Amino acid sequence: MTFDYDLFVIGAGPGGLAAAKKAASYGARVAIAEQEAIGGTCVNRGCVPKKLIVHAADVALQNQMAYSYGWSDYQTTFDWTKFIRSVHKHIESINRSSSKQLQNAGIELIRSQATFTNTHTLEVHGRKVTADKILIAVGAKPILPEISGIEFAITSREMFHLPYLPKRLAIVGGGYIGVEFSSMMNAFGCEVTIIDQDEMILSGFDDDIRRGVQEGLTKRKIRFIGNRTAQEIKYSEENLLLTMSGDSQNIITADTILMATGRAPNTKNLGLEKAGVELGEKGAIKVDEYSRTTQENIFAVGDCTNRLPLTPVARSEAAAFANTVFGKKQQKVNYDYVPSAVFARPEAASVGMTEAKAREKFGESVKCYRDRFQPLFSQMTKEGDQATIKLVVEGESERILGVHMVGEHAADIIQSLTVAIRKGITKQDLDETIGIHPTTAEEFYLFGSQ
């Protein structure tokens, strides 16, 4: 059978774009369909705009610390509307660049939704197209709890389109999205409250990391209410009233309520049942180690699958797929030691096993090394932020199983250590390494001298 394309990609996010370009580099005839902006969640309503807001918030925090460093009469004003307009202009430039890259690679971009009619056929923009291989890379979307008044709340998607800064922001959900927004908006002067169903924020991270970030946020006057779930939202006299259930009932008054209660695969309305593609838990597409679905010619990568929902992971899965299918070089993604970060202030990052996971697997042979210290930068300020570093090691060799950090530059430091951890280094290897002084990163090399 002759097909219109060798590969048809549904979704032009990080995974879809990476797969399309890599497949095209092998000579494949490729088309990609995207009904929204190119770049997906990460570029348009996630990683990129969020990190730009983090940078803007850092300027606000540095302004607060300027007096400690000898600056006087150092006053500035922040214009949220002007800033957010600049953010969207930058995103538009990324979109144009991505579109140009597709054009240069000979990839057809179709601005439309694509739905399956069978295993090799899709309906796109009112016409039917066929493809030998089809890749699904449609990402995920925010989950909203089914409570009364949920229409008054917003998700992370709408946070990037707020017309003004709220004076009082309530955030439901203490995962990395809720925590990051709490930190950013607090730096801009918002009164922020986080409501979470757990006692501590950042479920899934190492407990020392969770505790360190929560203490840092509390120090910045961010209010935290644990063991609560959102029950109802009401609009009253230009205020939003959020009722919570839990150990006792509470009501919080806010101008804006952000629901950061998780994300789910964006797999509805694709016609997957017509193609025989099976879904698993929470609507995630079932895939094997080569990203193949239950249909041998249909593949899926990124957040729409049941694997790690991280942009770099989606890109790696996409490259492995294209190399395997079109490059004839079988390649799988290694999910061990994938680093992650929380871009709050204080910042946190981790790679490898938490202490709890390590003890669950290796038992009593697990040891942990911890240190809390005050980085040089904060020693000059009233805030006096504490940094936390932690090694999780196993056995007599003290092979490093996990590295965790709260503090300035945590993401860059952990990322730099990741390749060494993947290669199986031990604590002794770190002890014998000479760092750069004075830096925060050198503390990882000083456990042996303490």
> In this model, does residue 248 exceed pLDDT 70?
no
Residue 81 CA, distance from chain mean position: 25
Over residues 58-75, mean pLDDT: 82
> Are residues 416 and 320 part of one domain?
no
* Among 15-24, 182-191, 375-384, the least confident range: 375-384
The pLDDT, as a whole number, for residue 250 is: 86
156 within a domain of the structure (yes/no): yes
Residues 167 and 235 placed together within one structural domain of the fold: yes
Give the pLDDT band of residue 65 (cuts 50, 70, 90).
Answer: confident
Same domain, 169 and 222: yes
Q: Where does the pLDDT of residue 448 fall: very low under 50, low under 70, confident under 90, or very high at 90 and above? A: low
- pLDDT tens, residue by residue, 364-403: 999 999 999 999 988 888 767 899 999 999 999 999 999 9
Identify the domain containing residue 106 by its residue range: 5-141+264-325
- Please tell me the distance from the alpha carbon of residue 283 to that of residue 306, in angstroms, as a whole number: 9
- The predicted structure's pLDDT at residue 377: 87
For the chain, give the percent of residues with pLDDT over 90. Answer: 90
Q: Does residue 282 sit in the same domain as residue 239?
A: no
Nearest by Cα to 432 from 413, 443, 420, 446: 446
If one counts every other C-beta atom within 10 angstroms of the C-beta of residue 361, the result is 12
Answer yes or no: do 344 and 408 share one domain.
yes
pLDDT at 68: 83
Shared domain for 415 and 291, answered yes or no, is no
Q: Which of 286, 268, 269 is nearest to 277 (CA)?
A: 286
Residue 77 has pLDDT above 90, yes or no: no
Instruction: Please determine, for residue 73, whether its predicted confidence score (pLDDT) is greater than 90.
Output: no
Reply yes or no on whether the pLDDT at 326 is more than 90.
yes
Same domain, 28 and 97: yes
Is residue 335 domain-resident?
Answer: no
CATH number at residue 48: 3.50.50.60
Q: What is the CATH number of the domain that holds 388?
A: 3.30.390.30
Q: Are residues 297 and 429 in the same domain?
A: no
Contacts of 55 (CB under 8 A, 6+ apart): none
* 86-102: pLDDT as tens digits: 999 999 999 999 999 99
Which of the residues 120, 125, 404, 437 is marked catalytic? 437
Catalytic: 437?
A: yes
Distance CA(291)–CA(287), nearest Å, equals 5
**306-326: average pLDDT:** 97
Asked whether residue 333 is domain-assigned, the answer is no
**pLDDT value of residue 381:** 80
- In the prediction, which pLDDT does 406 show? 98
Is residue 164 located within the same domain as residue 102?
no
What mean pLDDT is predicted for residues 255-262?
Answer: 97
Say whether pLDDT at 70 is over 90. Answer: no
For the chain, what percentages of helix, strand and coil (3-state, to nearest 5) are there? 35, 25, 40
| DSSP run (H or E) holding 94 | helix 80-104
State CA 277 to chain mean position distance: 27
Mean pLDDT for 138-157 is 97
Nearest CA to 304 among 5, 13, 21? 13
